[in-house]
Amino acid sequence: MCSPEVAKAVQDRIAREGRPALSRRNFLKLGGAAAAGLAVAQLGLTARRAAARSSEGALPAVIDLSYVYATSVPTYTPGEEPARSTVVTVQDNGFYIQKWELFEHSGTHMDFPAHFIADGTTVDNYDASLLVGPSVVIDIKAKAAENADAMLEAADIEAWEAANGEIPDGAIVLMNSGWGQYWNDVAAFRNADAGGVMHFPGFSGEAIQWLLDNRNINGIGVDTLSLDPGNSATFDAHYTILGAEKYGLENVANLDELAAHPGALVVVGVNRWEAGSGGPGRVLALVL
């Protein structure tokens, strides 16, 4: 609703009727009977919702696995930070709109096959049924605390299964390295050395190949800037998972909370960017 015609229509109406505001006076203009009717309708809706929840059980709790998308988010390459500006305001134009300039791979975001694979599937053509799956959170925080270049290895997957059972079909396997503690410190999150090489954990290509060979997963995710460790120059994790026509999630938040709810259903909420190689989005987990 940002076309010039809409803007003009809104401004013309404000000129005729004044700026809309929610106030007791405007509410009373509805008339006593109408206002009472609205109140009764709202109470009825609330009662029906309560009855539905009572008969069907409580609605699932939701864990937000996404960071706030802001101009200050850490990015893989300096200078790729998002930028935003205000186009119109409620005060001046009657409604509020921002303009964003961004790279597809920033903030909590998704990598799809086309990101690394020629003729790989793009976001707009990706099978939506694969964007939902049970969560598997594999903890490598102890390794990461000792070595920033630590990788989630096949042995970590086997250890997780020994303790929790086999990874279910359609799972989204998430690495929890504890790196989220640095999110609000861009320099610490990137952890670049004097030569500009970054150091943070990621998946090994071998671990992903093990998953592809032995389990039927939908995708993987990390709490860092890249599926690969920061010092990688070969990007084995990217090539392996994306080459299998699966996706990866980067900068995933709140994995400690998610780990307390094994099997919570992850929903990858990514926009259908035309010909997109990925994109920022909202990743949620439903605790069923």
- The count of other CB atoms within 10 Å of the CB of residue 16 is 7
pLDDT of residue 285: 98
Q: Which domains does the chain have, with CATH numbers?
A: 4-57 (no CATH), 109-287 (3.50.30.50)
Residue 80: its pLDDT value, please?
A: 94
With 0-12 / 13-18 / 19 or more C-beta atoms within 10 angstroms meaning exposed / middle / buried, residue 225 is buried
Amino acid 130: pLDDT: 98
DSSP 3-state percent helix, strand, coil across the chain (nearest 5): 35, 20, 40
Residue 172: its pLDDT value, please?
Answer: 98
Q: What is the pLDDT of residue 36?
A: 38
Burial 239-273 (b: 16+ CB within 10 A, else e): bbbbebebbbbbbbbbbeebbebebbbbbbebeeb
Closest CA to 198 of 149, 152, 231, 224: 231
Contact 248, 205 (CB under 8 A): no
Task: Specify the long-range contacts of residues 93-101, CB closer than 8 Å, at least 24 apart.
Answer: 93/7, 93/10, 93/11, 94/7, 94/10, 94/11, 94/13, 94/14, 94/19, 95/1, 95/7, 95/10, 97/2
pLDDT of res. 58: 79
242-276: pLDDT as tens digits: 999 999 999 999 999 999 999 999 999 999 999 99
pLDDT given at position 56: 62
Helix (H, G, I), strand (E, B) or coil at 266: strand
Is residue 86 classed as helix, strand or coil in its secondary structure? strand
pLDDT block averages, 10 residues each, the chain of length 288: 53 58 39 38 38 61 98 96 97 96 97 97 98 98 98 98 98 98 98 98 98 98 98 98 98 98 97 97 96
